[in-house]
Copies of this chain bind each other. A is one copy, B any other.
């Protein structure tokens, strides 16, 4: 494989720990030669989305994805309606940002519930309600299967195969508007990983490819993800499968980590650049 250049990579702003205003972060990412950014709603919703979008474009960056949906499973119908409106607003912001996709982190069980099948159905219903707008805007809903250790509290969508089956239910004739985000951290353990990636590619459903690493040992279930190369994921063979499956867009570096998030951002970005050569 040819080397993965920074220009073919995106920086998910969570990696930098939200230490600086989004305007500063955009400039830092561009200055380090990355080709795209993936911002979070917390950085966008307080400001003027058009200004942010123009700033990103002026800096020469694409937007590989916009993070992320509100969790969809909820106890009451009213609550689900409120969540839908929230997600619709965020999806429109994704359109304004010209994001390649709106990342769907589906949500876990509704409060007090033990019914994961019902949570999964609610996610499907929530996505079906968003799909027409996603198509109008040209922003794919990118269902991100999360690691099974988040099934209770963050996402009841936990494997690539499951996310693909949801895509097929939502979009049986493959018109588009819905795909999946494949994150190395969440999926590396999957015994069917490489065939699932191939299936996703054959169905033209890969909307995003996220990278970081799984540290061994992992000390915290959320904030101890690793810099590429510091952990046990065979990122190179995963990238190979993703590219063989036809995905040619950005590899997005998304590292949730107390360590990296509090590090000097320029240093983090330089290390990310270096690791593209050695770990991918």
Contacts and interface: CB of A to CB of B under 8 A. Distances in A.
Interface of A: 108-109, 113-116, 120, 147-149, 151-153, 156, 158-159, 161-162, 165, 188-191, 214, 216-218, 221, 231-234
B147 A233 contact: no
The DSSP consensus for interface residues of chain A is loop
A152 B116 contact: no
Contact of A148 (B147, B216, B232): B147
A214 B148 contact: no
A158 B187 CA distance: 12
Contact of A116 (B151, B156, B221, B234): B234
Given A109-B216, A216-B109, A216-B153, A148 B189 contact: yes
B232 A189 contact: no
Pick the 3 closest A-B CB pairs, nearest first.
A151-B189, A152-B216, A162-B191
Contacts of A188: 116, 151
Given A109-B216, A148-B149, A234 B190 contact: no
Contacts of A189: 116, 148, 151-152, 156, 158
Contacts of A149: 147-149, 218, 221
Contacts of A234: 114-116
Contacts of A158: 189-191
Given A148-B189, A152-B189, A158-B190, 9 more contacts: A108-B216, A120-B191, A147-B148, A148-B149, A149-B149, A149-B218, A152-B218, A153-B217, A162-B191
Contacts of A116: 188-189, 234
A113 B214 CA distance: 12
Contacts of A191: 120, 158-159, 161-162, 165
Given A147-B149, A153-B216, A214-B152, A232 B190 contact: no
A144 B149 CA distance: 17
6 contacts: A120-B191, A147-B148, A148-B149, A149-B149, A151-B189, A218-B221
Contacts of A217: 153
A233 B159 CA distance: 18
Contacts of A233: 114
Contacts of A114: 232-234
